[in-house]
Amino acid sequence: MGAACWDAGGGLSCGKLRAGRIPPCLAAGERYHPRPRLPFPQGAPPSASMVKRALIACVLALGAPAWPAAAQEARAPEPQTLELMRLAFQKRLMEAALNPLKQQLTSLAELEKQRAAAGDYAAAIEARDQRKRLTTELERLDKELLLAQTREQSLKARLLPERVSLDLAHAELDGGVRMDGGALTGWSRPGAAAKWKLPDLPPGGYEVVVRYRCGPLEGGSLQVAEARFTLDADVVTTLRGPQEKNLGTLKVTDGSGPLVISARSVVKDNLMHLLAVHLTPAGR
| CA pseudo-torsion sign 87, 92, 93, 94 | positive
Expressed as residue numbers, the domain containing 94 is 48-66+76-159
pLDDT of residue 262: 98
Question: What's the CA gap between 251 and 228, in Å, rounded?
Answer: 9
Look at residue 127 and tell me if it is in a domain.
yes
What does pTM read for this prediction?
A: 0.55
pLDDT of residue 173: 97
**Mean pLDDT for back-to-back runs of 10 residues, the chain (284 residues):** 47 45 48 44 53 54 44 58 81 86 92 93 93 91 86 76 92 96 96 95 93 95 96 94 95 94 96 96 75
Same structural domain, 135 and 205: no
Same structural domain, 155 and 169: no
Total domains in the chain come to 3
Same structural domain, 273 and 179: yes
